[in-house]
Structure 1
Amino acid sequence: MRYQLLGPVTATGPQGPVPVAGPKRRAVLAALLLNANRVVSERQLSNLVWGNDPPASVRGQIQVHVSELRKLVGRDTILRQAPGYLIVVRPGELDLHAFDEAVTLARDELEAGRAESAAERLRAVLDTWRGPALGGVTEPLRALEGPALNKRRLSALEDFFDARLAAGRHVHTVGELRQAVGRHPFRERLHVQLMLALHRCGRTPEALQVYADTRARLASEVGIEPGRSLRETHLRLLRDTTEGAAADAPGRAPVADVPVAHVPIGDGPVAEVRGPPGCTGRWGSTRARRSPRASPPACWASRCGGPARCSPS
């Protein structure tokens, strides 16, 4: 048998697809498969399939559905074991197990420096998904178990982008990352990956705009600041940009470490900042929140001749 949970719930036998009729019967099958080779009690099945409002005849309905499923997949496959039922699933029969195994192997490859191989493996296993997990089952089961499964898919997609970036395929990854960010606008890791891909393509202004747009959206829709990973990526790109500008400027020494003061970068102490002697630059505020580990903020006053080091008071 072959069972699929990563999309519409289906079963396939040696002769082809097995007709598992109705959302409740598919939900009973899916609930057993999610706990493959383990006993699922009748009470668990009731909660997963019918939720908080099961019918009075729920026990009898479970028995009917299990009986019909045993006819479809084999009487030696679904077993009665107190206080419920168990489905026997062998290696390679359940798409969820194959997915988890492939993702684990790909992560090991990525850690070992085999980014191309990891990306190929992740691309292949992501293609096995046929839509949101647990399609065609009852709402209680989909609501209880679906989000965790879909989150595993999203995490694997982020691993795929990490592998592509590690393999140097920045140009070919930007478009897919933009689509992923559009589908998951509050997923910080995707925004970080998009910023890095754009930056490595020589499109740093676009990468910085991604941060600005994300920060504005978080503030307006959720009321929070970007997380640490996004903030640190933003500062890193700004340092790269200002160091490059300083290196290109005639007669100017490179600036080693230039963060930005007008972006909250941590929960550290608030410090006064001022420009160097003769600087007429103006901040949006004369005070900037700084991380204890942060370097002094950058002055962007044009009369300073470009970015220059400012010192805390």
Structure 2
Amino acid sequence: MDFRLLGPFEARHEGQLVEVGSRRQERCLLGVLLLDPGRLVTTERLIDLLWHGAPPGSARGAVHTYIGRLRASLTPYGVRISTRGDGYLVEPDGHRVDVTEFAALVRQAGGVSDPAERVSLLDRALALRRGPLLADTADDELRERLHAPVEELRLVAVELWAQAQLALDRHTLAITELTPLVARYPTREQLVAILMTALYRDARRAEALGLYRRTRDLLVAELGVEPGSRLREVHRRVLADDDRLERTVQPAYLVRVRDESLPWSVGGHPALDFCNTFAGWGHEPPLPGAEWLRGYRTLAVWTGHVGLADEVAVSRLLHLAQRSPDEADDALTAARALRAELYACLVDPDDRRAFDAVARYAEAAARTLVFRRDVDGRGRWWPDLAAGLRLPVHAAAWSAAQLLADPRRLTVRTCPGERCGWLFLDETGLRRWCSLGTCGSREAGTPCRSA
């Protein structure tokens, strides 16, 4: 069966419309169950939604009757509505629901790097929407209660679509799509930031600045807050005629490995490059905030790229991460925590707490190391695959311990730029600025400082 909820309710079998439910409330109840196939919805929840918290005494019996009628009309098409405890669910059984397909396409689009491919996926997703959720079935009050997560996902999809269009230099398309949405959601800062960028690229700088001014006034008047860092940064760049707004939002300093975007290695040591995976591009002090390690896959690929693990280990990690996503997320969280402690330790040699925290990670890593012959014939300590998904954490921690025990540790410098913060080795003692042309420290005349 093919169920369509993004607009008027429709049920189709082999392309032909199927009449489901003789009453609007029956189709509405089915729509609620189909919003998340396979997930239990309690009878109390159904009653609350169908009667807006003021049900008649016969509500429970009515729900039971509706379920019976729906089963009778859907069973011939292989649709099963199961009873579990005090609730009901629609068994997935391979049936297609446009809301589920929409969410899957948006998630898939968020994981691809090619802007043309992302636009294609999001065009397919957005084309599924024929109107408001359950347009002819749910009343306004129920739709408002059910629609919020679906509408939020739609806005995310449009934001991703618009950013991809900007990457393809199609700013006019982005303006056309975003202008009515920003009018409807004037305090959604991500939408405003993308629209400001598109207007600037379309030689409409005054309109971009006017949009920021109206948004800021509204945020202050209605919510009592100033715009966030992302929107303020776009405003600053528009004011300064910053040519970075003319380029795509893809970071300038990156490499592509296994379809992952990794930061260009400028630190001179794997432990420094590990810290530099969150340095740069508009962070708020005291710590950098541009997150390169977006997911576990990026962490695993980065570990192999900088030589902390071999390609066999990386392939194994990627396979394990697919099988155990929760464990992968836990390992990524641990890696980010290690990175924050190491960064603090490197920029402030007197921070004994941060040093001790890194030491604990290093001690745990030491218990997992094995001594193996490298390809050049020399021996080397490697993190053992028996460590599983935490292997990259141990590899980074061991690299950090090696740096902290190395005399070169005393030559680490840190860039003072508010939008940079990169760490690098300066063994010559002659470098005054970091390698990043984006940070602006050279123009400001402020040299990088010894860490």
- Whether TM-score is above 0.5 comes out as yes
Q: 2:158 & 2:127 partners in 1: Cα distance?
A: 10
* Counterpart residue number, 1:103: 106
User: How big is the shift at 1:157?
Assistant: 0.9
Aligned partner of 1:285 in structure 2 is none
Given the superposition, is the C-alpha separation of residues 186 and 20 from structure 1 closer, same or farther in structure 2, using an over 3 Å criterion? farther
Partner of 2:293: none
3-state secondary structure, aligned to 2:241: helix
Q: Tell me if 1:3 matches 2:3.
A: yes
For the Cα contact (< 8 Å) 2:20–2:27, is it kept in 1?
no
- Structure 2 residues not aligned, in runs of 5+: 245-283, 287-416, 420-443, 445-451
1:3–1:11 Cα contact (<8 Å) kept? yes
Deviations 1:102-134 (A, max 9, x none): 11111111xx2x101101210221011111223
Does the 8 Å contact 1:48/1:140 carry over to 2?
no
Partner of 1:62: 63
Q: Is the 8 A contact 1:13 1:73 kept in 2?
A: no
Q: Equivalent residues in 2 for 1:28-177 (5 A)?
A: 28-74=29-75, 77-91=80-94, 93-109=96-112, 112=113, 114-135=114-135, 136-138=137-139, 141-177=142-178
CA distance in 2, matches of 1:138, 1:85: 22
Seen in structure 2, the aligned counterparts of structure 1 residues 142 and 176 have a Cα distance that, compared at 3 Å, is closer
Measured in 2, the distance between the counterparts of 1:215 and 1:267 equals 22
Counterpart-to-counterpart distance in 2, 1:66 and 1:149: 25
**Cα deviation digits, residues 163-212 of structure 1 (max 9, x gap):** 11122211332222222212222211111011111222333232222212
Secondary structure of residue in 1 paired with 2:178: helix
Classify 1:172/1:43 alpha carbon distance in 2 versus 1 (closer, same or farther; 3 Å): closer
Residue pair 1:11, 1:20 contacting (<8 A) in 2 also: no
Letter in 1 for 2:44: R
Q: Distance in 1 between matches of 2:160 and 2:30?
A: 30
Aligned residue identity for 2:9: V
Contact 1:2/1:11 (<8 A) preserved: yes
1:293 Cα deviation from its structure 2 partner:
4.4
* Alignment partners' CA distance in 1, 2:204 and 2:123: 26
Between the aligned partners of 1:120 and 1:133, the Cα distance in structure 2 is 23
What is the CA-CA distance between 1:41 and the residue it aligns to? 2.5
Q: What is the identity percentage for the equivalent residue pairs of Structure 1 and Structure 2? A: 33
For 2:38 and 2:21, how far apart are their aligned partners in 1? 20
Code of the aligned partner of 1:87: V
> Is the CA contact (8 Å cut-off) linking 2:10 and 2:17 kept in structure 1?
no
CA deviation profile, 1:232-281 (whole Å, cap 9, x unmatched) = 110122223599xxxxxxxxxxxxxxxxxxxxxx999xxxxxxxxxxxxx
- Are the counterparts in 2 of residues 218 and 226 from structure 1 also a CA contact under 8 Å? yes
Q: What letter matches 2:127 in structure 1?
A: D
Cα RMSD after superposing both structures? 3.1
Distance verdict in 2 for CA 1:55–1:209, change over 3 Å: same
What is aligned with 2:204?
A: 203
Encode CA deviations 1:19-65: one digit per residue, 9 max, x unaligned.
43433212210221123113322222222222322111112101111
